[in-house]
Copies of this chain bind each other. A is one copy, B any other.
Amino acid sequence: MALREIGVGLLGFGTVGAGVVAALQRNAELLAERLGLRLRLRKVADIDLERERGVELDRSLLTTDALSVIRCPEVDIVVELIGGTGAARTLVTEALNAGKPVVTANKALLAEHGEEIFGLAERRNVDIYFGASVGGGIPIVRALREGLVANRIESICAILNGTCNYILTRMEQDGCSFGRALAEAQKQGYAEADPRLDIDGLDTAHKAVLLASLSYGSVVPLAAVHVEGIRDFAETDLRYARDLGYRIKLLAVIKRQGEDVEVRVHPTMVPQEHVLASVGGVFNAVLVQADLSERTLYYGRGAGRDPTASTVLGDIADVAKNLRSGTRRRFHALLRSGSQVRMRSMADVATRHYLRLHLLDRPGVLAQVTAVLGAHGISIAAALQKESGGRHVPVVIVTHQAREREMAAALTELAALEVVSGKPVRVRIEDL
């Protein structure tokens, strides 16, 4: 039987694009046999046609004209791997308007213009698949959308940025500074020359927006996400955290209570014995708490040529099957949740907190600190003085649950105390 062919057009021939091309070549027979159809690469657009990509490709497929890829009648699926919110936005819009299904790995585009892009796909009744935009080689979007389709998602705690996780792992294991760990990450190719998107938490926030939007069926505004990165994080706090039985991870935390949803990104202490704490190096992991499946976790490489290509191809396979059977939007791009969600203000979020203060080494000083916390209704679970030496001693305080509003006020007051040297350090705790 002659297999039906499905034409694939690629926008963006960078690292992931080359991975998709290589995988389509290498596993062509495997895919044809598994899918009962043949995926054919019809056209590949990039602004640079000369760069060496490590894959062989018939030059007649290459073009600098991205629109010609979308308009090519032999292209059934448009795969957008350009990234960013410039040309990618125009081209994805163009493809959807042309009624062509889109597979994309573009987290920034969907997190910043999700309302527009998902809305257009729905109006045009066209598929948009975005599995590779969160978690690289981990099929987490599919797991949430299909595997857990019968569940109400209660919370998601996730390590979504390999660069940050690599840096924190190095700092903890080797006791090195943030600067040295970042330099090492750059040397290994795990961090960009300009690492701001990663280390300041925006990349994680983009992915958190996508996971929250997917789980709750309406686009969560990026502006409503509280974002803190790991820039200049102190090795000391990783060490103290370990002494307390915790590890520190840059976590995306998504929680739903009733109609309220909180979405936040910040360094977080997680119990050492928890599976999430054992996720080291450039790996990502997504912990999902849902009403039926209860706790599930998904782990893998959050980036990289082949892992990302794996997920892109999984999405292409789905769209190809849909095209073959004349199905569109087999599942909604985002899960419907039956009700609108409301973003909870960060001020209302409650967690336990770790505080590190440098206090004047003098009797009665700790009492001043506890008085400030107490005045804001914050109670203390543990307080311990670390190695002393100079005029000031580091003191670590672990609090019970306290809301951000009260904690922020307390931190401001603490910083102003004469007996406190420098800015107090605060890390939120999730006991998972």
| Interface residue ranges, A against B (CB under 8 Å) | 19, 23, 26-27, 29-31, 33-35, 131, 137-139, 142-143, 146-152, 273-275, 277-280, 283, 290-301, 304, 306-307, 309-311, 313-314, 317-318, 321, 325-327, 330-332, 335-338
Contact = CB atoms under 8 A, between A and B. Distances in A.
B310 A292 contact: yes
A290 B310 contact: yes
16 contacts: A137-B294, A142-B142, A146-B318, A149-B314, A150-B314, A275-B299, A277-B278, A290-B310, A292-B313, A293-B307, A293-B310, A293-B311, A294-B304, A295-B301, A296-B301, A297-B298
A23 B306 contact: no
Contacts of A297: 297-300
A296 B292 contact: no
A151 B292 contact: no
A139 B143 contact: yes
A143 B142 CA distance: 8
Contact of A148 (B146, B274, B310): B310
A304 to B, nearest CB: 7
Given A27-B292, A149-B314, A325-B326, 4 more contacts: A27-B151, A33-B338, A147-B314, A291-B306
Contacts of A304: 294
Contacts of A31: 149-150
B296 A300 contact: yes
Contacts of A27: 150-152, 291-292
B300 A299 contact: no
A299 B291 CA distance: 16
Contacts of A327: 325, 327
Contact of A293 (B29, B296, B301): B301
A34 B146 CA distance: 10
A195 to B, nearest CB: 23
Contact of A330 (B23, B311, B325): B325
B290 A294 contact: no
A15 to B, nearest CB: 14
Nearest 5 CB-CB pairs, A to B? Answer: A139-B147, A150-B313, A296-B300, A292-B310, A137-B293
Nearest to A327: B325
Nearest to A284: B296
A313 B29 CA distance: 32
A133 to B, nearest CB: 14
Contacts of A314: 146-150
Contacts of A150: 23, 27, 30-31, 309-310, 313-314, 317
B313 A149 contact: yes
Contacts of A326: 325
A297 to B, nearest CB: 4
Contacts of A318: 146
Given A273-B280, A327-B327, A149 B293 contact: no
A142 B147 contact: yes
A79 to B, nearest CB: 13
Nearest to A33: B336
Nearest to A337: B30
